[in-house]
Amino acid sequence: MSGLWGVLQEHFPELLAGFLVTIRLVAIAFVIAMVVGAVVAALRISPSKWLQRIGGVYVETFRNIPLLVLLFISFAGLRRAGVPITPWIAGTASLGLYTAAYVAEALRSGAFAVGKGQIDAALSLGLSYASALRRIVIPQAFRSVIPTIGSLVIAMIRNSAIVGVSLLALPDLLKEARIIQSRTFETGEVFFWAAIGYLVLTLTATVAFRFLERRFEVRR
Amino acid sequence: MRSTDRLRQTAVALIALAALVAAGCGGTATETTDTAASGGEAPAASLDRIEEKGEIVIGVKYDVPPFGFRNPDTGDVEGFDVELGRAIAEDLGVEPRFVEAISDNRIPFLQDGTVDLILSTMTITGERDQEIDFSEPYYIANGRILATKGSDIAGLDDLAGRPVCTVLGSTYADTVEEQAPDADLQLVDTYSECLELIQNGSVEAVVTDDVILTGMIIQDDSLELVGDDLTTEPYGAGLRDGDTEFQKRVNEAIDEYKQDGRWEASYEEWVGQYTGIEQQPPTMTLKEAIKLAP
């Protein structure tokens, strides 16, 4: 079968399998990115200069290394050094830690947007620094960072395609498309459907985040 | 005031972008229209175009010793395929220019005119013959299994449930699926990646042509060939579909190469001295090769 719809009909199971792998990859990486990003952001805004510096090193490192290089280091490099890291762990960790650097910066600027005045006010009311963070700063910061986190999620969905093309050989959507293309040579058609697949994911994320934005909108 | 500033900034940005795009495309635009034109015209134009340019662009492997690989000391690409490429270029009276063609992109490169000829350990199959044309077979390889010395993999049956590597776009993706369907097939871009994976333990076997595997053993003697010949793989030079004039010339060049002793000399230099196996130039015809692998 050939032609645009023919290709979809004939190879739907494989494309769907790849699509699900991509979702899984992005979901796990997202969790890693949010958790690590929050920790690093907390380091960055902490009063201790040392902790700030550690957070700074993390952000600079992971923002300046290309994701593909990170993948090679985490998989090929670590394995040669004897660490039994699996493709899944290397892939999700690389994507997650890479994005975490950006999440940390987004959270940090969100926290700053809240304004030092609020922290001072909270502290003068007798709240501890941790309570001030938790009850005053974070809820407000959260609202303002939703759009930025949204675009980071979309970036992650696109970056996940890099994982599939790398040495890790994870069978994500792009990889499945490449396998089909190498057999049938229906290049334009199969990559069109891969693009549609990624578009479905990014549009879903866009809609979801727009919903969240509206839900948590500050009513002035 | 502000809006004219913004307008000016946008204009400058657009002009800069246009300049970048023009610079980037300017070089390739003429090339692509050239190849598009000759691709659409009578295929015989391929030979004319080569003679006109005085050069033939040949796609070879850069990381598959001993057929096509970059010598780390000299930086030049060399190997059995490369030697044959030089011989064909000499026969046509043009200079050879080698570019890298991995299994995954070699046929698209041929179809879109990036290369004129493919000499990259490419097996003749009926399926590929629908997309491109082949020369007569110039080498017969056999599919084998590579495993680490001391592993318990001795043949196809042992591959069940184990991670096995081969390259995207090669015939072995199908071979493994047919002959060892329970193997956990990992597809990567190049054989050097398969070597990396078996060396770092993520796969336990690599399946491909014996000569490619021999190249790996030359680099790492903790690996060995196991099991019997899985398949017969006649290599053919790839050319554009319908390019019959060019095909005839290439076949003549290859035929002479086989007859006058150069084939044997090249074989001995690149393959024979490592495998210790004697071989004669193949006599299989293209038709027979296609019958083997429709």
Question: Which residues of B8-150 form beta strands (DSSP E)?
Answer: 55-60, 63-64, 68-70, 77-78, 95-100, 117-118, 132-134, 139-148
Q: Do A169 and B108 count as a contact with CB atoms less than 8 A apart? A: no
Residue A62's pLDDT is 94
**How many angstroms separate the CA of residue A62 from the nearest CA in chain B?**
25
Q: Do A167 and B196 count as a contact with CB atoms less than 8 A apart? A: yes
Q: Which of A142-151, B27-36, B37-46 has the highest mean pLDDT?
A: A142-151
User: pLDDT band for position B2 (50/70/90)?
Assistant: low
Residues 6+ apart with CB under 8 A from A10: A1
User: pLDDT band for position A141 (50/70/90)?
Assistant: confident
Q: Does A68 touch chain B (CB under 8 A)?
A: no
Q: Do A76 and B186 count as a contact with CB atoms less than 8 A apart? A: no
Mutate to test the interface with B, among A14, A78, A167 (most CBs of B within 10 A): A167
Of all residues in chain B, the one with the smallest CA distance to A78 is B200
Q: Which CATH class is domain A24-173?
A: mainly alpha
Is pLDDT of B36 > 60? no
What percent of chain B clears pLDDT 70, i.e. is strictly above it? 89
Residue B33's pLDDT is 41
Radius of gyration of chain A (CA): 21
Which residue among B108, B169, B200 places its CB closest to the CB of A76? B200
- Per-residue pLDDT averaged across B129-136, rounded? 92
Assembly ipTM: 0.74
Higher model confidence: residue A137 or residue B26?
A137
Q: Does A87 touch chain B (CB under 8 A)?
A: yes
Closest CA to B231 of B156, B175, B153, B168: B175
pLDDT in tens, B144-162: 999 999 888 888 888 999 9
Closest CA to B149 of B47, B226, B38, B35: B226
Q: Which of B21-35, B182-196, B274-288 has the lowest mean pLDDT?
A: B21-35
Here the contacts of B33-42 (C-beta below 8 Å, separation 24 or greater) are B34/B113, B35/B112, B35/B113, B35/B114, B36/B113, B38/B113, B39/B111, B39/B112, B39/B113, B39/B240
DSSP state of A56: H
Q: How far is CA B49 from CA A196, B44, B52, B247, in A?
A: 39, 9, 5, 14
What does the alpha-carbon distance between residue A167 and residue A86 come to, in Å, rounded to a whole number?
A: 12
Q: Do A182 and B186 count as a contact with CB atoms less than 8 A apart? A: no
Mutate to test the interface with B, among A182, A184, A187, A189 (most CBs of B within 10 A): A182
| Set of chain B residues whose Cβ sits within 8 Å of the Cβ of A86 | 202
Is pLDDT of B47 > 60? yes
Which residue among A80, A175, A187 places its CB closest to the CB of B200? A80
Is pLDDT of B26 > 60? no
What percent of chain B clears pLDDT 90, i.e. is strictly above it? 36
Strand partners, A171: none
Q: Do A175 and B104 count as a contact with CB atoms less than 8 A apart? A: no
Higher model confidence: residue B171 or residue A21?
A21
| Set of chain A residues whose Cβ sits within 8 Å of the Cβ of B163 | none
Residue A219's pLDDT is 60
Report the DSSP pairing between strands B184-188 and B163-167. parallel
C-beta separation of B95 from B102 below 8 A: no
**How many angstroms separate the CA of residue A167 from the nearest CA in chain B?**
6
Residue A213's pLDDT is 87
| Count of beta carbons in the 10 Å neighbourhood of residue A125 | 10
C-beta separation of B48 from B193 below 8 A: no
Max Cα–Cα distance, chain B, nearest Å: 83
Residue A155's pLDDT is 95
Is pLDDT of B44 > 50? no
Higher model confidence: residue B260 or residue A46?
B260
Mean pLDDT score of chain B:
84
Burial bucket for residue A74 (CB in 10 Å: 0-12, 13-18, 19+): buried
Residue A210's pLDDT is 92
pTM score, two decimals? 0.74
pLDDT in tens, B76-87: 899 999 999 999
Residue B30's pLDDT is 40
pLDDT in tens, A92-133: 999 999 999 999 999 888 887 777 777 778 878 887 777 777
Instruction: Map residue A2 onto helix, strand or coil.
Output: coil
Domains of chain B are 40-138+236-292 (3.40.190.10), 142-232 (3.40.190.10)
Which residue among A87, A175, A183 places its CB closest to the CB of B202? A87
**How many angstroms separate the CA of residue A130 from the nearest CA in chain B?**
43
Chain B residues near any Cβ of chain A (below 8 Å) = 103-104, 107-108, 127, 131, 165, 168-169, 173-174, 186-189, 193, 196-197, 199-202
Q: Do A185 and B107 count as a contact with CB atoms less than 8 A apart? A: yes
| Element holding B275 (H helix, E strand) | helix B273-275
